Amino acid sequence: MEASKDINRLLDIMAALRQPETGCPWDIVQTFETIKPYTIEEAYEVADAIERKDPDDLCEELGDLLLQVVFHARIAEEEGLFTFGDVVEAITRKMIRRHPHVFARSDAETPEAVKAQWDTIKQQEKAERLARRAARGSAADPDTGYLGSVQRSFPALTEALKLQERAAKIGFDWSEAAPILDKIEEEIDELREALAENRPDKVKDELGDLIFALVNIGRHVGAEPEQALRGTNTKFRNRFNYIETSLEASGETLEAASLERMEELWQAAKLIQRQIG
């Protein structure tokens, strides 16, 4: 079998990998649950390639992510649930429906109007989905109410951001960023108290409150928290790499270096980063 730009070749490959008698022993035993972590990981690797502005890696990582879609669809087809074609049909139907300003008649001519129209259609789709579930006796969504549309499956930072954005739409929000700083200081004090009391459960709870407040101020000042943290992660990587390479250049090792020595090099790395940009 040879590589091809035809999606059907990828579908054939996955079918062959899952073939009980002649397929791959690892692929055959996988389930929705076992490959779910890989699906999430591949999505993050796509994001990483975008941040690194590496088109070659982006092309490869998009392929890896597409493979996850094909993998899930193949398992579903084997279980008689749906096929890859059903997945494609569902998303094409959804995109056509959500873009009446492109594929039908609509008065939405600005980005704001399109966003409002999109939200309205999403709510209609949710109501229809719940009706279908009720008709076939399925359980309703575990989360109902105004915040029910925010998925728990999002990464925690993203879920926090979307919960806040959703609540803000009906006025449950700070009017400006400054009071959130007071809230952050309040959460820090409560975290200090929990640490002083040596209560791990309370520390965990207060830490969550602090992070939630930090997400909130990021939203108010236009600093998307996930991207802000990723920027800091990159900064940490670069500074730590400076420590490592500097130690190696002087014949030292990370394991043998004292905290004071590493802190000295950390501060040097910070100074270099500030001078660069």
- Residue 41 placed within a domain: yes
Domain extent for 138: 7-148
pLDDT of residue 139: 54
Write the CB contacts of 155 (distance below 8 Å, at least 6 apart in sequence). Answer: 226
**pTM exceeds 0.75, yes or no:** no
Query: Looking at residue 223, what is its pLDDT?
Result: 92
Residue 81 belongs to a domain: yes
Parts of the chain with a pLDDT under 50: none
Q: Please indicate, yes or no, if residue 111 is contained in any of the structural domains.
A: yes
Residue 213 covered by a domain: no
Sorted by sequence, the CB contacts under 8 Å of residue 149 that are 6+ apart come out as: 122, 123, 126, 166
CB 266 within 8 A of CB 239: yes
Tell me the per-residue pLDDT of 136-150, one tens digit each, with 9 for 90 and over. 775 555 556 788 878
Note whether 137 and 234 are same-domain residues. no
Shared domain for 135 and 21, answered yes or no, is yes
Q: How many structural domains are present in the chain?
A: 2
Separation between Cα atoms, residue 258 and residue 264, nearest integer Å: 10
| pLDDT at residue number 102 | 83
Is 164 part of any domain? Answer: no
pLDDT digits (tens, 9 = 90+) for 94-112: 999 888 888 877 777 788 8
Q: Is residue 172 part of a domain?
A: no
Q: Write down the pLDDT at residue 254.
A: 94
pLDDT of residue 210: 97
Per-residue confidence (pLDDT) for residue 116, from 0 to 100: 83
